[in-house]
């Protein structure tokens, strides 16, 4: 899957978690813009992991602050 | 400017305490309502494992994890006194230098006998046992798969060891298996589970989970802090009830609950286990437990081996309290009593604090548990029962809950 496809898929998965309907751009942050708490993060990450059959460890999650970084990380993880 | 006060330096420096402002505000908000501080209780006198004078009131203790009521056992207290007289008040040293006394070897032997395992290693606290074992065995490049509701000491052990940390949804066997399946081939794997989860008092499906972990070649560590002495035919924990004790690589436990003193431990059958004494930093770089503590622990552990009557009474207490609270209309953490912890779910922190205060004024101490320590950001009143609570004390507890619940408007 290329980056655009990964982006489209993650956008779809993010929708039910984006309760306030915030517009998601590359720079949208999970903690501040989307106001995800730790439980939401866990559920959201689990959905992505299941969809792409990958692991995003807590250590990797700590490096991901915004949407663009997430798409980059998943694109890389699912290709390897 | 007053001479005896430090001069304020006008710099651009950031106050490192600024990050605590939210917590400070939350706490001040709670206390501003004229509430008694749930996190600043003082026990002026302890009368027994189930009674104390708290903030000036005669109080039933229902939140001390003193499950088996060993703190005032005459044999236990006597062993401590004798050790104080014979060995002095403290060891002033690390276990690997001058801090191993006869008593430390004896309490480790008592643990090996209690669990019927080859090795036992005693730490100065339960927190250090998890911190030490986990950080030492799971290092950079290894994977730790753990339940999202794991205790703080487990998370801290993971962080300190720098392993890849992969959490799964609480008690979800399928979620755990999916994560194990995706770990790269050849990587070291450690699965960390707890027998009883202390927030809701629920038990892990260890039979299924340990089988899955073994299928993927992972080592398994189970924290049995809240089950020792009580759950299982010999009090060895949920691993015993689930029949998986032989498939588990490490059991972590504590002396600060059923054993009735302080300290932590790990028992294992791993043939190379003894090397941990030299490579585990939270074991090496701290002073060992005082002689009186290990003497009380050893005596208590040996008595717990023969505690089946007490275990039976504690189960009765747990069932009675659970049913009583449910009948009163409280929302509980589990549908059935699964351990000696009964968690009463509060609608929010404010109501929880009000309820806690009404209980303490009524003469009952429970733990107020709040986010972030709690799962799903719940506010809980956590009750931990003791084998020494009498049937009439449980009735008294229920009466105090009923009165407080009606006052606060929860039931």
Tell whether B77 is covered by a domain.
yes
Boundary of a domain, candidates B304, B321, B348 = B304
A24-29, long-range: CB within 8 Å, 24+ apart, which pairs?
A24/A67, A25/A67, A25/A68, A26/A66, A26/A67, A26/A68, A26/A71, A27/A66, A27/A67, A27/A68, A28/A66, A28/A67, A29/A65, A29/A66, A29/A67
Tell whether B9 is covered by a domain.
no
The two most distant CA atoms of chain A are separated, in Å, by: 34
Cβ neighbours of B270 (radius 10 Å): 16
Whole-number pLDDT of residue B78: 98
Two tokens, residue A46: 């689990």
Q: How far apart are CA B352 and CA B104, in angstroms?
A: 42
Same domain, B262 and B373: no
How near does any CA of chain A get to the CA of B95, in Å?
33
Whole-number pLDDT of residue B39: 84
Same domain, B287 and B401: no
Number of domains comprising chain A: 1
Cβ contact, residue pair A57, B143, below 8 Å? yes
Q: Are B240 and B116 in contact (CB under 8 A)?
A: no
Q: What is the DSSP string of A47-58?
A: HHHHHHT----H
Same domain, B323 and B300: no
Whole-number pLDDT of residue B1: 44
Boundary of a domain, candidates B287, B304, B321 = B304
Q: Are B84 and B94 in contact (CB under 8 A)?
A: no
* CATH code, domain with B335: 3.90.1150.10
Whole-number pLDDT of residue B303: 98
Please give the helix or strand (H or E) that residue B192 lies within, else none: strand B189-194
Q: Are B183 and B229 in contact (CB under 8 A)?
A: no
Same domain, B182 and B164: yes
Residues forming beta bridges with residue B146, ordered by sequence position: B167, B192
Query: Does the pLDDT of residue A73 top 80, yes or no?
Result: yes
Residues of chain B with pLDDT under 70: 1-11
Cβ contact, residue pair A59, B377, below 8 Å? no
Q: Is the dihedral of CA B297, B302, B305, B308 positive or negative?
A: negative
Same domain, B279 and B185: yes
Same domain, B176 and B53: no
Q: What is the DSSP string of B359-407?
A: HHHTTEE-EEE-TTSSGGG-EEEEEE--TT--HHHHHHHHHHHHHHHHH
pLDDT in tens, A10-61: 999 999 999 889 999 999 999 899 999 888 999 999 999 999 999 999 999 9
How near does any CA of chain B get to the CA of A47, in Å?
11
- Which chain B residues are Cβ-neighbours of A58 within 8 angstroms? 158, 164-167
* CATH code, domain with B123: 3.40.640.10
Same domain, B298 and B149: yes
The owner of tokens 């005896």 is: B4
How near does any CA of chain B get to the CA of A26, in Å?
25
Q: Is the dihedral of CA B156, A78, A10, A2 positive or negative?
A: positive
| Nearest residue of B to residue A40, measured between CA atoms | B376
| Nearest residue of A to residue B373, measured between CA atoms | A38
Same domain, B299 and B316: no
Query: Nearest CA to B333 among B202, B169, B205, B227?
Result: B202
Residue B130 φ then ψ, to 5°: -65, -50
Domain range for A16 is 3-79
Q: How far apart are CA B244 and CA A36, in angstroms?
A: 38
* CATH code, domain with A72: 1.10.1200.10
Boundary of a domain, candidates B274, B304, B334 = B304
Domain range for B350 is 31-68+307-408
Whole-number pLDDT of residue B209: 98
| Nearest residue of B to residue A56, measured between CA atoms | B166
Whole-number pLDDT of residue B61: 98
């Amino acid at each position: 899957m290329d980056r655009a496809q990964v982006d489209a898929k993650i956008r779809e998965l993010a929708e039910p978690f984006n309760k306030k309907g915030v517009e998601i751009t590359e720079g949208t942050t999970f903690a501040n813009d989307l106001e995800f708490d730790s439980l939401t993060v866990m559920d959201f990450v689990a959905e992505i992991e299941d969809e792409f059959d990958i692991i995003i460890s807590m250590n990797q999650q700590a490096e991901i602050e915004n949407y663009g970084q997430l798409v980059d990380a998943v694109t890389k993880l699912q290709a390897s | 400017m007053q001479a005896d006060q430090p001069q304020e330096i006008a710099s651009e420096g950031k106050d490192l305490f600024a990050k605590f402002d939210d917590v400070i505000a939350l706490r001040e908000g709670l206390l501003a309502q004229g509430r008694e501080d749930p996190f600043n209780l003082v026990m002026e006198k302890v009368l027994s494992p189930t009674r104390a004078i708290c903030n000036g009131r005669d109080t039933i203790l229902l939140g001390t994890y003193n499950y088996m009521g060993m703190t005032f056992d005459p044999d236990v207290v006597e062993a401590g006194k004798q050790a104080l007289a014979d060995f002095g008040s403290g060891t002033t040293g690390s276990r690997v230098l001058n801090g191993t006394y006869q008593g430390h070897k004896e309490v480790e032997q008592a643990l090996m006998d209690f669990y019927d395992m080859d090795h036992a290693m005693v730490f100065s606290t339960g927190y250090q046992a998890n911190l030490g074992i986990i950080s030492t065995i799971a290092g950079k490049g290894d994977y730790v798969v753990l339940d999202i509701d794991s205790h703080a000491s487990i998370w801290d052990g993971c962080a300190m060891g720098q392993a890849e940390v992969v959490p799964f949804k609480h008690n979800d066997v399928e979620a755990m298996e999916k994560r194990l399946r995706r770990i790269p081939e050849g990587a070291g794997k450690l699965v960390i589970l707890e027998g009883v989860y202390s927030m809701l008092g629920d038990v892990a499906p260890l039979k299924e989970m340990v089988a899955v972990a073994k299928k993927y070649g992972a080592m398994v560590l189970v924290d049995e802090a809240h089950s020792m002495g009580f759950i299982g035919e010999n009090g060895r924990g949920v691993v015993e009830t689930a029949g998986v004790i032989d498939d588990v690589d490490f059991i972590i436990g504590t002396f600060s609950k059923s054993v009735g003193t302080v300290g932590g431990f790990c028992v294992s059958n791993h043939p190379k286990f003894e090397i941990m004494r030299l490579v585990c930093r939270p074991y090496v770089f701290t002073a060992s437990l005082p002689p009186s503590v290990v003497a009380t622990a050893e005596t208590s552990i040996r008595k717990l081996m023969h505690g089946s009557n007490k275990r039976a009474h504690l189960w009765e207490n747990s069932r009675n309290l659970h049913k009583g609270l449910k009948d009163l209309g409280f929302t509980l953490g589990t549908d059935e009593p699964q351990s000696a912890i009964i968690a009463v779910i509060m609608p929010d922190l404010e109501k929880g604090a009000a309820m806690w205060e009404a209980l303490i004024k009524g003469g009952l101490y429970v733990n107020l548990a709040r986010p972030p320590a709690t799962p799903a950001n719940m506010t809980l009143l956590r009750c931990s029962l003791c084998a020494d609570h009498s049937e009439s004390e449980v009735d008294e507890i229920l009466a105090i809950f009923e009165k407080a619940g009606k006052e606060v408007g929860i039931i």
